[in-house]
Amino acid sequence: MENSVGHLSHAERVLDYIKSQKNPVAAYEILKGLRADGITAPTTVYRALEKLHKDGRIHRIESLKAWTTCCDPNHEEAAVFEICKDCGNVTEHINKRLVKTLAALSEHSGFSPKHSVMEIHGSCKDCEPQLEKR
C-alpha cells in the first residue's frame, strides 16, 4: 500500500523486510535492517507489526519472539509451525482437521480458548541426519 506521496507505508516496508529474510526476525532486527531506510524508532516497527498481525499478513513465532510472513492471509484456522532447531527454518501448516480436534478437546473439558499457537520444534528434512540404509 502506498501513501499519497508514492512511498511505501511503514507496515509495507516492514512486511517487505520480513519477506526478504530466510528465517523469522525479531522486532529489533527489523529496526536495525530498516534504519538506513529512515525507520529509527522501535514504536514505528511495533505499530507496523501490530497492523500486519491484525491484518493476518504475519505471524509471531512465540518461542522465538520473532515474526514471519503468513503462507495464506485468508485462512481462519490456527497455524501449526515446524521450527528447525538447526537451521532456524520455520514452515507453516494449516490443518483444519487438527484444529477441529483441538476445539473438540476444549469443548469436552469446558475450556474456552481465546488464542492458539502450535509450534513443533525439531529438525527439518535437510538437517536431520540421514539414517544408514541397511
At 64-107, the pLDDT tens digits run: 999 999 988 888 788 899 999 999 999 999 988 988 898 899 99
Q: Determine the pLDDT at residue 88.
A: 94
90, containing H or E segment: strand 90-94
pLDDT the model gives residue 116:
82
How far is it, in rounded angstroms, from Cα 123 to Cα 134? 22
- Helical residues (DSSP H) of 4-82, grouped into ranges: 10-20, 27-34, 42-54
Average the pLDDT over each of 60-69, 84-93, 110-119, 122-131 and give the range with the smallest value: 122-131
Average pLDDT, the chain: 89
For position 130, what pLDDT does the model report?
59
Evaluate whether 8 touches 2 at the Cβ level (below 8 Å).
Answer: yes
Q: What's the CA gap between 79 and 4, in Å, rounded?
A: 35
Distance CA 64, CA 84 (A): 11
pTM given for the model: 0.83
Give domain 10-122's CATH number out of 3.30.1490.190, 3.50.50.60, 3.40.50.300, 3.90.79.10. 3.30.1490.190
